[in-house]
Amino acid sequence: MSSRGRSRAVKAPASVVSSVSVVSVVSESNVVVESVPESVPSTQGTPTFGKSDSDWDIAAPAAAKSVTESVTNSVTNSVTESAESVASVAESDPDVLKEYKSFDEMELPEELLRGVYASGFERPSDIQTKAIIPMKEGRDVLAQAPSGTGKTAMFLIGGFTRIDISRNEVQMVVISPTRELADQTGNVAKALGTFMGLRYHLATGGVGVDTDLEKLGRGSTAIPHLLVVTPGRFYDLLTRKAVKPATIRVLVLDEADQLLDAKFKEQIQTIMSEPFIWPASTQVALVSATMIPAIAATAKTLLVRNPVTILREADEVSLEGIRQFCIKLDREDQKLMTLCDLSDHLTIKQCTIFVNTRAKAEWLMEQMRRQGFDLDCIHGDMDLKERKRRMDSFRAGKIRVLIATDLLARGIDVQQISLVINYELPVSRENYIHRIGRSGRFGRKGASINLLDAREVRIQAEIEEFYGKKVEDLPMDLDIY
């Protein structure tokens, strides 16, 4: 795992002796968000559409009053019910979704199909077999599928079928919760859209808005067809009228449950409310690996165009291909030594170590470097250029171990990550699944190891129960990939 790594087999370190005593751990949430500029007005009282029993009266693509109530109601029922109990393919769709087992069968535009095959995608993944065609048909989609199963390509391929390349205007927008994810999505879009002549632009916070305005400006003869944005910057561009909802045919909320929850909720609500007037025809796709019932209920207010809902049971998102292990410790302060022991004995391709706070990420990096390990850390307090540099160097395999906050928990796709270590368990249960989903991408083998103090042993038990998956004690000899 590190420059000190020697042998292939992992021996559970000497310190791996389970016994219990209570230690408190700092676990302040550190999910990094793009913030809306301070000038963002409150949206309360200005909904342009949607009747909801929640506090979500989202305007949303759809000036949705135009859509029949019966459709809305059927979705409402199916989303809530699916999220709570059954799941799978939408009950709002009586025909049950047809699954398209090959990309050829989907009758995609030829240039797009070339991009798909050139990306090395031979066959569609499960979610791609089900959700690309509804997107192509302009239907609203709520798509939940495990991490690493090709959701990004799903919504990009589906959305690209709706883009008219000859039009010099923004026609598709993907909102991502982090810059890193937006950047990655932009790169996938570039590859898929290359033969179509698709133009895309990445517009995220932290860098000046001038380039965005230039690209999107009236005089521009090369306005991007696709915009990948973070919520704050998107709001800014809408306010400046650099992007007009009227031209947008497809709006995707990636990591939708995060975007519709706590920190982002108001931002998204603002974007989808007056004074921005969204046409009824703008299609909405909500995509995530996790979806809790309360969020699914919120999401329902956005789904109005003959929607398709694909939800999964909690135990279906628990990532069968990833072997989950733990090391139970007496105290938090034993974790560092245990991690060093572990790192000395592991040979893996790449590894991400998750912690809960920015301060902890810096501290751990410092401590590990002192022990002779060559690694980096990444978190939201960091200068944007430095954040990008470290991410690029990790993607390129120059750095094999990266310590991260939940900034990297969602969506990030580095195929070489074969091991995720939770130095601290995450504050949210959903992020546990997202974190371990950084390994084992697209069916590859992966493993996770939780370092637990006594308090976390109990938290892990709750996670195990919720996802219906046992986390085993790390065996003395383990071959990690």
Instruction: Assess contact for 116 and 252: CB atoms under 8 A.
Output: no
Give 91 or 430: the residue with its C-beta nearer to ligand ADP. Answer: 430
Instruction: Assess contact for 196 and 112: CB atoms under 8 A.
Output: yes
Instruction: Assess contact for 358 and 31: CB atoms under 8 A.
Output: no
Peptide bond before residue 426 is cis, with ω within 30 degrees of 0? no
Stretch that binds ligand ADP, among 107-115, 146-154, 204-212, 306-314 (CB under 6 A): 146-154
Listed in sequence order, the residues at least 6 apart from 363 whose beta carbon sits closer than 8 Å to its beta carbon are: none
Give 13 or 115: the residue with its C-beta nearer to ligand ADP. Answer: 115
Stretch that binds ligand ADP, among 1-9, 60-68, 151-159, 238-246 (CB under 6 A): 151-159
Give 145 or 228: the residue with its C-beta nearer to ligand ADP. Answer: 145
Q: Pull the structure tokens for residue 223.
A: 């306005």
Q: Pull the structure tokens for residue 276.
A: 């921005």
Give 418 or 460: the residue with its C-beta nearer to ligand ADP. Answer: 418
Which amino acid, 393?
A: S
Instruction: Assess contact for 435 and 354: CB atoms under 8 A.
Output: yes
Q: Taking the complex as a whole, how short is the minimal distance between the CB of residue 269 and ligand ADP, in angstroms?
A: 24
**In the block, residue with structure tokens 């307090």:** 381
Measured CA to CA, the distance from residue 254 to residue 143 in angstroms comes to: 10
Stretch that binds ligand ADP, among 59-67, 94-102, 150-158, 359-367 (CB under 6 A): 150-158
Nearest position to ligand ADP, beta carbon: 150
Q: Residue 330, Cβ neighbours under 10 Å: how many?
A: 16
Give 13 or 124: the residue with its C-beta nearer to ligand ADP. Answer: 124
SS3 354: strand
Give 50 or 440: the residue with its C-beta nearer to ligand ADP. Answer: 440
Position 74 contacts ligand ADP (CB under 6 A): no
Binding mask 115-144 for ligand ADP (x = CB under 6 A): ------x-xxx--x----------------
Binding mask 263-292 for ligand ADP (x = CB under 6 A): ------------------------------
Q: Where are the beta strands (DSSP E) in 56-140?
A: 88-89
For ligand ADP, the binding residue among 153, 198, 228, 421 (CB under 6 A) is 153
Q: Taking the complex as a whole, how short is the minimal distance between the CB of residue 445 and ligand ADP, in angstroms?
A: 14
SS3 165: coil
For ligand ADP, the binding residue among 441, 446, 450, 456 (CB under 6 A) is 441
Binding mask 386-425 for ligand ADP (x = CB under 6 A): -------------------------x-x-x----------
Give 135 or 327: the residue with its C-beta nearer to ligand ADP. Answer: 135
SS3 45: coil
- In this structure, the chain runs to a length of 481
Listed in sequence order, the residues at least 6 apart from 34 whose beta carbon sits closer than 8 Å to its beta carbon are: 177, 178, 179, 204, 205, 230, 231, 232, 233, 267
Inter-CA distances, 220 with 242, 337, 350, Å: 11, 57, 42
Question: End-to-end alpha-carbon separation of the chain, Å?
Answer: 11
Give 128 or 350: the residue with its C-beta nearer to ligand ADP. Answer: 128
For ligand ADP, the binding residue among 43, 78, 147, 273 (CB under 6 A) is 147
Q: Where are the beta strands (DSSP E) in 235-336?
A: 250-254, 283-288, 308-311, 322-328
Binding mask 237-266 for ligand ADP (x = CB under 6 A): ------------------------------
Measured CA to CA, the distance from residue 282 to residue 175 in angstroms comes to: 14
Instruction: Assess contact for 271 and 238: CB atoms under 8 A.
Output: yes
Number of residues that bind ligand ADP (CB under 6 A): 18
Q: Taking the complex as a whole, how short is the minimal distance between the CB of residue 79 and ligand ADP, in angstroms?
A: 20
Give burial (CB, 10 Å; 0-12/13-18/19+) of 183.
Answer: middle
Measured CA to CA, the distance from residue 258 to residue 126 in angstroms comes to: 23
Position 204 contacts ligand ADP (CB under 6 A): no
Measured CA to CA, the distance from residue 199 to residue 309 in angstroms comes to: 29
Give 289 or 419: the residue with its C-beta nearer to ligand ADP. Answer: 289
Position 152 contacts ligand ADP (CB under 6 A): yes
For ligand ADP, the binding residue among 263, 292, 416, 442 (CB under 6 A) is 442
Give 216 or 289: the residue with its C-beta nearer to ligand ADP. Answer: 289
Q: Taking the complex as a whole, how short is the minimal distance between the CB of residue 226 and ligand ADP, in angstroms?
A: 16
Residues forming the site for ligand ADP (CB under 6 A): 121, 123-125, 128, 145, 147-153, 411, 413, 415, 441-442
